[in-house]
Amino acid sequence: AQKITQTQPGMFVQEKEAVTLDCTYDTSDPSYGLFWYKQPSSGEMIFLIYQGSYDQQNATEGRYSLNFQKARKSANLVISASQLGDSAMYFCAMRGKTSYDKVIFGPGTSLSVIP
Amino acid sequence: ETGVTQTPRHLVMGMTNKKSLKCEQHLGHNAMYWYKQSAKKPLELMFVYNFKEQTENNSVPSRFSPECPNSSHLFLHLHTLQPEDSALYLCASSQVSGGADTQYFGPGTRLTVL
């Protein structure tokens, strides 16, 4: 069965510093997709970044980058130059090999950016 | 309107009430989803619609009844709910194409059942 683990329930980071949010996953599928979402207190889930299991390079999107280590089954999110608006819950998610497979979400990490 | 919209944003209802949640996507996607997010629990997939056809019912109680009249609209009809159904209900849509097929979410409806 597929599973997502986020071991950091809460994280703090100083404004303008970089922070890494951990995500490990378990799957037997050779092909899968990994996602990161941000959920501010308003409730909306905001898509941040995507990594395909066969992508050769780590995904990057502005201040977000995904540190993908396939052999370790980890897909950590790195946020550079943290801003106060980055304070939110962050969810790692995975979808199986086909577009029709369910997306499963991890329990989330609460990030607080300190001025 | 852009993206995925949901109405109402907040809903308080009694256990005997009947209400409906509405979701509309303006992204031209062909799949829509309902998720439930309870406190201290991971996001739970409830229903999936691909091309207006329900393809997933994740063991959801019958007091939740989805409806997808077209690929842009999705409803969740609620009746005789229980207090434990209080949660944030999120709608999402995606374009199923064999690629990343990223799901884009609406702002959610925060439901309280008294």
For residue B1, is pLDDT > 60? no
Q: Could you read off the pLDDT of B92-106 as tens digits, one per residue?
A: 999 987 777 889 999
Distance CA A12, CA B88 (A): 25
The whole-angstrom separation of Cα A91 and Cα B37 is 12
Contacts of residue B62, defined as CB under 8 A and 6 or more positions apart, other chains included, come to none
Amino acid in position B7:
T
Interface contact A44-B103, CB threshold 8 A: no
Per-residue pLDDT of chain A (115 residues; tens, 9 = 90+): 789 999 999 999 999 999 999 999 999 888 899 999 999 998 889 999 999 999 989 999 999 999 999 999 999 999 999 999 999 999 999 987 666 678 899 999 999 999 9
- B89/B18 Cα distance (integer angstroms): 16
Comparing CA positions, the residue from A94, A76, A107, A105 lying closest to residue A33 is A94
Tell me, rounded to whole angstroms, the distance of Cα B102 from its chain centroid.
Answer: 16
8 Å CB contact of B101 and A108: no
Give the residues across from B91 on adjacent strands.
B34
Q: pLDDT per residue over B16-52, tens digit each?
A: 889 999 999 999 999 999 999 998 788 999 999 987 7
Chain A contact for B54 (CB, 8 A cutoff): no
**Which three-class secondary structure state does DSSP give residue A84?**
helix
pLDDT, mean over chain B? 91
Nearest CA distance, A94 vs chain B (angstrom):
11
CB-closest option in A37, A42, A102 to B56: A102
Closest CA to A94 of A47, A45, A27: A27
Q: Do B100 and A52 touch (CB under 8 A)?
A: yes
* Run of H or E including B18: strand B18-25
B40 Cβ contact partners less than 8 Å away, ≥ 6 residues apart: none
- Residue-wise pLDDT tens digits, B42-89: 899 999 998 777 777 778 999 999 999 999 999 999 999 999 999 999
Backbone angles phi, psi at A84, to 5 degrees: -60, -35
